[in-house]
Chain A
């Protein structure tokens, strides 16, 4: 028996090691290609938007918000529609809304501020909840658009 070759045991070990290394390399490469998901309470943050429950009213320049659901509202995006166009502003950017909690409006909490003077006489307001979730690169905010907003006709 002059045939040269590797022992079967060595070959098996090498194959297993090679397999593990290739798994690790392809995993790291493929994970970078899949879009990063933002999660909240273990599920995709887009699904959490459906669980958000809040009430909002606007009267004489005062915006009132009550978080009557179980999802904390990190912020609100206020879309102001008026003559000729619209503008979207975060509640945190209003000077008169400095009482908005820094960590967001928790469940059961309420907020009220006179933001009327800072708006250019809008005819309609749309309020969209903004949530904060977790991704592989840290905390990220997500605005629940579309049907999750509330419209107020002024």
Chain B
């Protein structure tokens, strides 16, 4: 007796296709989402050519103040800088954060000058442009209570737009330091 095709049991072809396609789509979506996080991205950094140097430091040991003049000698505008000091001559790293010690004319000026640990040049983003005639900035810091300061380290800062968000980016490659002594 011939076996009729209608007597064969099995999954309908259409349902088989549906299941295959569904499983493929789902697996590809899950693997994509997981693998997407492994795609390397550019490191968050300042553009090459960002540079700032300490033009002048005036350390008044009597008044216990340090006046620092910085100059933007790079190709890109800067927003401010991180500043640290060292009060031990043999210390390799400067760990005293001087940003809270900046001297400002008013509380409003102070609120515009300090942002976290950053000393901002102005209330505008990346305000210190290398093309301006006055591409320098002067700030005075009160260093009373720290003893003798031996070294100052400065890391310039830019505001960069990353993934549609403004982010503070420290220009580590443009870090500068100066050993200082009393005037």
Contacts and interface: CB of A to CB of B under 8 A. Distances in A.
B95 A64 contact: yes
B89 to A, nearest CB: 11
Interface string B24-49: 01110111001001111101110000
Contacts of A55: 93
B128 to A, nearest CB: 17
Given A66-B94, A112-B95, A51 B23 contact: no
B84 A110 contact: yes
Contacts of B84: 66, 110
A53 B44 CA distance: 11
A31 B31 CA distance: 9
Given A37-B34, A68-B175, A107 B95 contact: no
A142 to B, nearest CB: 13
B14 to A, nearest CB: 7
A95 interface: no
A19 interface: yes
A147 to B, nearest CB: 15
A15 to B, nearest CB: 6
Interface stretch (A1-9, A40-48, A81-89, A117-125): A40-48
B136 to A, nearest CB: 21
A22 B94 contact: no
A34 B34 CA distance: 8
B131 to A, nearest CB: 26
Interface string A31-70: 1001001010111100100110101110100001110111
B117 A26 contact: no
A109 B94 CA distance: 10
A22 B95 contact: no
B44 A64 contact: no
Contact of B118 (A44, A66, A108): A108
Interface of B: 14, 18-19, 21-23, 25-27, 29-31, 34, 37-41, 43-45, 82, 84, 90-97, 116-118, 153, 155, 157, 163, 167-170, 172, 175
15 contacts: A15-B18, A18-B18, A30-B30, A31-B30, A43-B40, A43-B41, A44-B37, A55-B93, A57-B92, A57-B93, A64-B91, A65-B93, A108-B116, A110-B94, A111-B95
